[in-house]
Structures are given as C-alpha cells and as structure tokens.
C-alpha cells in the first residue's frame, strides 16, 4: 500500500518532470511497457515521471472503495483488494493492464454484462491535463465534461494520476459451467435471457463470457461467485484453461485464478511460442507463463524476424496482423461471425457481452443495450503485394455496417470523417480546447490512426 504521503511525493515528482519539459514540447509518459498493439513513433526528449504512481493508496473496506494510482496494474490492485475480501467490479483479462489504461482505453471482462466497463466504477479522478493542471473530475462537478470524455481518449485529454473506484465483495471461489450451443444465434438468445434475469437454468450468473471454436461449436462460460471450499483446478500449471472449456462441463477456480485464467496463456496465443506443448510447458518456468512475457516475445520477433524467415521457408506469400476487439449489438452477433468465418476465418474467438449504464461520448454505445465484444488475435495469410491494412479495413467496414464499434488499442485505418463520426471527436476537441489549449497532447486520431 502506497499511502497518501508517498502519493503526494510521487505527484510532486510528476509535476517536476512536467515543469522540466521545454515549452511547446509534446507531452508523453516515460514508461517502457504497454498493452497496445499499434506501432508508435519514437518520441524525442524526456517524458513525464510516473515511476511512483504504480500502487494502491488506500482501501476503504467498509465503504467498498479504493484510491488507486493511475499506473497501478490490475495484478497489484487485485492482490491488495483481495486481502480485504474485495475486488474491482471489472478486472480486465491481462495482469499488466493499468487502472488508468483501462479507464482511458476501455477495459472489459466477464462481469461487464452486469457491471459495465471499468470506467463506470470510477467515482472521481485526478487528471493531469495538457495545460499542466491537476484537476479532480467527477460526474457532476465543474469538470464533469472532462470526466465523461475521458473513457476512450487514450491520453489525448490527459493522464489519470489518482482514481477512486467502487469495489465489490470478492467470493472465495468461482463455479463455472461451460454450456455448448449449436451456433452464435442460440448463444445470443441465452445471453439475452441472462441479461434480463441474471440467471440461467435456475442458477445465478455473476459473470459470463464465451468462446467460439467453430460456427457450430460456441460455448458460454457461466460463472457463479460462491464461498465454498471445493477442490479447484490449476491452469497455471500443465493444464491450459481454454482447452478445458471443451473438455469439462463444470469447473471450480479460486477467485484469484478465475481473474487471471486468460492471462496465463494469453488466451490461446501462447501456442505460437510452443508454451502449450507438454514437453515445452514442463521446462517453461511457471513465473514466465503470463501475457507480458509473450508480449515481449512478439516485440522481439518484430526486431529479429524469426517468423518472417519461417514464412519464407514455408513459401507464405504475405501476412497481415489482425489483432482487434470489436463490439456489435447482441442481435447482430450471428451476422458478424458468419461474415467473419466466411471472409477472415480466424478461430477461436472470444465473446464477452457488455452493457453500459450511461452514454459516454467518445465511445457512443446505447446505454442499457446489450453488445458483444468479439476478440480475435493473430495473423492471416494474404496475397503477395496486398496493401497493408486491407483485411483490417474490411473488418472495420463490416463492424460499422452492423452498428458496432472497434476498440482502439490496436491498429485503426478509418478515414478521418468516419473516425470523427464514430468516436465523437467534435466533442473531444471541445474538451481539449479547454484543458489543452496549446495542443501539447497528441489527438485521438493521431494516436489511433496515424500512430504518432
């Protein structure tokens, strides 16, 4: 636990690093790690010192709130809150996602159908704006417009230094039911029933996500939070979580292991590094079975080029990276997956239903309407000479046609007019004029599309 005194000193260091920046120099964070999947131009000069802003300041176990620094990872936040029998309302899948990053970049997880997105648990936040001011924004104070525009702004409005968030009681264990459906349409009907009743087949559903292995093999994993002391499975060892979905109808995990069930193997992506092979898994250290390690391996390969050499040996004409999370209305899920299977052909894909509680202008989903996040991460083979981004542009167009949206943590290829319309940049620019009059922060379009 950091404590308020340590937080005050960390904020002072942050302000000092701001004051040391040359006048007019673009502002960025001095951080080495990221969960983004889009290329970024290398920034010149020093960045803001956020090294002391990576912890939990205080937890109120009675009021079920926590004051948390913006660079605190969910791994650290969960460890602190579970010690008090509490946990965040929504815990994104990967351990090293930060609270500030999830709020400004729209995290999601299996409690999102019931509790919304991470930013909807925020009660107040201290934001370092582009003008260098530190302001406290709440839903109803003089900075309410900044508070509303902050989700999905990706640092274009400033950086969250402290956030006060609501917590929920943490169960001891999580009981899982992996229910198979014949297709996406049947799974969508079940999601609609769960959204309305909070139950399925007579049992409470506290969290739900899904895995689509093929068009006719779609599973919903229904989680019930319980305080039992049953034997539990361990998917940080030899067993692989996503494989258990097909093999077991029921399962039990500790709440800690449930929250990080996807991180150990980066969903299913660890297979690309051989980490799911039984022999390799035995010698792959347990502490290295985690998403940030695989992320570093991907970054290393982009420099060393092992995958490019293997593609040449296999005579692969070309590849395009397709790493995206999109949201479509629940009733269009079957349409999207049918198109995706026909045109793209990546499987498995992750499904996560969600529902927001209010309108958020930079990611305008209809409050109360059920959407489904579809996540797909990998590469597809393309003909030699294919224009970069061709496959991703087709996905963007289809998502737009179906009334959906795309998260911006990865590459985006929208033309400027479409981007401005989808992400409410007119309102965003109005807020920027107030809080960043000298335009020292990079705009959302420049960050997400131009990768600057």
437 and 327 assigned to the same domain: no
150 and 87 assigned to the same domain: yes
Q: In terms of Cα–Cα distance, which of 373, 281, 283, 268 is closest to 328?
A: 373
If you search the block for the tokens 């779609």, which residue do you land on? 218
Q: 357: helix, coil or strand? A: coil
Return the pLDDT at 34.
66
309 and 166 assigned to the same domain: no
CATH number of domain containing 309: 3.30.70.2520
Write down the H helix ranges in 123-249.
144-149, 184-197, 241-247
Within a domain: residue 333?
yes
148 and 70 assigned to the same domain: yes
DSSP 291: H
For residues 220 and 318, give the distance between their C-alpha atoms in angstroms, rounded to a whole number.
Answer: 34
Return the pLDDT at 156.
94
434 and 346 assigned to the same domain: no
Is the distance from CB of 164 to CB of 103 less than 8 angstroms?
A: no
Q: 209: helix, coil or strand? A: strand
125 and 16 assigned to the same domain: yes
Q: What is the pLDDT along the chain (452 residues), one digit of tens a residue?
A: 889 999 999 999 999 999 898 887 788 887 666 666 656 655 555 689 999 999 999 999 999 999 999 999 999 999 999 999 999 999 999 999 999 999 999 899 999 999 999 999 999 999 999 999 999 999 999 999 999 999 999 999 999 999 999 999 999 999 999 999 999 999 999 999 999 999 999 999 999 999 999 999 999 999 999 999 999 999 999 999 999 999 999 999 999 999 999 999 999 999 999 999 999 999 999 999 999 999 888 888 777 777 887 778 887 888 999 999 999 999 999 999 999 999 999 999 999 999 999 999 999 899 999 999 999 999 999 999 899 999 999 999 999 999 999 999 999 999 999 999 999 899 999 999 999 999 999 999 998 998 76
Return the pLDDT at 43.
54
Within a domain: residue 72?
yes
78 and 148 assigned to the same domain: yes
22 and 157 assigned to the same domain: yes
162 and 33 assigned to the same domain: yes
Kindly report the backbone phi and psi dihedral angles of residue 72, in degrees, each rounded to the nearest multiple of 5, phi listed first: -70, 130
Within a domain: residue 257?
no
Within a domain: residue 178?
no
For residues 28 and 261, give the distance between their C-alpha atoms in angstroms, rounded to a whole number.
Answer: 32
Return the pLDDT at 316.
84
Return the pLDDT at 5.
95
Read off the tokens for 274: 């051989």
Kindly report the backbone phi and psi dihedral angles of residue 377, in degrees, each rounded to the nearest multiple of 5, phi listed first: -145, 115
439 and 314 assigned to the same domain: no
31 and 131 assigned to the same domain: yes
Return the pLDDT at 313.
83
Q: What is the DSSP string of 28-44?
A: -B--S----BS--PPPP
Return the pLDDT at 32.
64
CATH number of domain containing 113: 3.30.465.10
316 and 440 assigned to the same domain: no
Residues spanned by the domain of 318: 305-413
Within a domain: residue 113?
yes
For residues 59 and 72, give the distance between their C-alpha atoms in angstroms, rounded to a whole number.
Answer: 14
The structural domain count of the chain equals 2
Within a domain: residue 331?
yes
Within a domain: residue 249?
no
Within a domain: residue 420?
no
């Amino acid at each position: 636990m950091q404590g308020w005194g340590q937080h005050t000193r960390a904020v002072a260091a942050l302000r000092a690093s701001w004051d040391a920046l040359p006048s007019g120099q673009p502002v960025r964070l001095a951080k080495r790690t990221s969960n983004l999947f889009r290329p970024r131009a290398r920034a010149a000069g020093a960045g803001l010192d956020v090294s002391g802003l990576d912890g939990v300041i205080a937890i109120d176990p009675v009021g079920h709130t926590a004051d948390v620094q913006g660079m605190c990872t969910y791994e650290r936040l969960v460890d602190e809150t579970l010690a008090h029998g509490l946990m965040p309302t929504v815990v994104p899948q990967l351990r090293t996602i930060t609270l500030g990053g999830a709020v400004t970049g729209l995290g999601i997880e299996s409690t999102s159908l019931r509790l919304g997105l991470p930013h909807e648990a925020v009660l107040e936040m201290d934001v370092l704006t582009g003008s260098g001011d530190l302001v406290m924004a709440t839903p109803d104070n003089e900075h309410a417009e900044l508070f509303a525009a902050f989700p999905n702004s990706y640092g274009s409005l400033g950086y969250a230094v402290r956030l006060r968030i609501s917590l929920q009681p943490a169960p001891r264990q999580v009981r899982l039911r992996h229910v198979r459906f014949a297709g996406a349409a049947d799974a969508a009907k079940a999601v609609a029933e769960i959204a309305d009743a909070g139950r399925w087949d007579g049992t409470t559903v506290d969290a739900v996500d899904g895995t689509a292995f093929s068009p006719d093999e779609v599973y919903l994993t229904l989680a019930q939070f319980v305080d039992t002391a049953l034997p539990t499975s361990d998917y940080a060892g030899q067993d692989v979580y996503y494989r258990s979905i097909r093999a077991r109808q029921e399962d039990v995990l500790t709440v800690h292991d449930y929250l990080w069930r996807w991180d150990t193997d980066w969903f299913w992506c660890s297979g690309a590094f051989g980490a799911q092979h039984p022999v390799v898994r035995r010698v792959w250290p347990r502490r290295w079975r985690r998403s940030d390690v695989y992320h570093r391996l991907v970054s290393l390969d982009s420099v060393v080029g092992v995958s490019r050499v293997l593609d040449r040996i296999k005579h692969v004409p070309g590849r395009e990276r397709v790493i995206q999370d999109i949201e479509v209305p629940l009733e269009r899920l079957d349409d999207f997956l049918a198109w995706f299977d026909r045109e793209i052909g990546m499987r498995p894909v992750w499904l996560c239903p969600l529902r927001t509680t209010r309108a958020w202008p930079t990611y305008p989903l209809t409050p109360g309407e059920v959407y489904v996040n579809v996540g797909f991460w990998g590469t597809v083979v393309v003909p030699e000479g294919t224009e970069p981004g061709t496959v991703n542009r087709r996905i963007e167009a289809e998502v737009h046609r179906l009334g959906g949206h795309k998260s911006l943590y990865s590459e985006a290829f929208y033309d400027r007019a479409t981007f401005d319309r989808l992400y409410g940049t007119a309102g965003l620019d109005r807020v920027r004029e107030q809080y960043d009059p000298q335009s020292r922060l990079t705009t959302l379009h420049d960050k997400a599309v131009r990768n600057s």
